Amino acid sequence: MIEVKKLVKRFGLKTVLRGVDFHADAGEFVILLGPNGAGKTTFIRILASLSRPSMGQVKVAGFSLPDQSAAVRQRLGVVSHMPLLYDDLTAEENLQFYGRMYNIDALQERISTVLDLVGLSARRRDMVRTFSRGMQQRLAIGRAVLHDPDVMLFDEPYTGLDQDASEMLDVVLKNVAAAGRTVLMSSHDLARAEELGTRFDILTRGIISASCTRSELGTRNGSFIGGNLLTFYKQALAG
């Protein structure tokens, strides 16, 4: 579903990604971990076709970037810490707008289903500016799944959420992943990442420096993977 080879991204003289190799199979929930400035957001923006790679090959859902970016965007849902919603439109109007941008047929029915999924049916006619941060983020997920994407990218979606809103977002994220989508999420929240992810990749100094699956975390006691994600993460950063 996602295949990246030798990806390099430069901004002027600064090289942010230095040859990233990455893959995610259909149905995988991959968590991308790494310190601030490691290039996680840049990596996700390239996969989302919001940024052009300087070098390397990127394929999402079988289509190459940047050449087939429209086809990739049709199959891609993106949620970042910004909700990408319009404050002066209602929840329903926001979804109507994005539904038209994706040319979705039977849009009204689809919007109702999505609002049910994210638990906002009762607030469908309220302005987004009256929503809490948690509700905005749930609606942002609704916006991202509206066109039924095969691949979902989440860039630190828990930023700024309180405990209740985070737990509610957990439920929505699990529903999204349960539909068989490939999910890539960057996060600093290791406890939450360990609960949600099926694989964990560490991005440091512009490369994927370590990777392991959930089963490896739990069962292996090898030299660099400890019993939990925190140990694995610390050892990966130290190495």
Give the residues lining the site for another protein (CB under 8 A): 11, 45, 48-52, 66, 70-71, 73-76, 78, 80, 82-89, 93, 97-98, 100-105, 110, 113-114, 117, 127, 143, 145, 147-148, 175, 178-179
Nearer to another protein, 102 or 224 (CB): 102
**Rounded least distance, CB 54 to another protein, Å:** 11
Q: Beta strands of the chain (E only): which ranges? A: 2-11, 14-24, 29-33, 55-60, 63-65, 76-79, 151-155, 182-186, 199-204, 207-213
CB burial of 21-57 (b: ≥16 within 10 Å; e: otherwise) equals ebbbeeebbbbbbbeeebbbbbbbbbbbbebebeebe
Nearer to another protein, 74 or 204 (CB): 74
Q: What is the DSSP letter of 14?
A: E
Nearer to another protein, 34 or 83 (CB): 83
**Rounded least distance, CB 198 to another protein, Å:** 19
Angle at 210 between CA 176 and CA 234, to 5 degrees: 95
**Rounded least distance, CB 43 to another protein, Å:** 13
Nearer to another protein, 8 or 71 (CB): 71
**Rounded least distance, CB 225 to another protein, Å:** 34
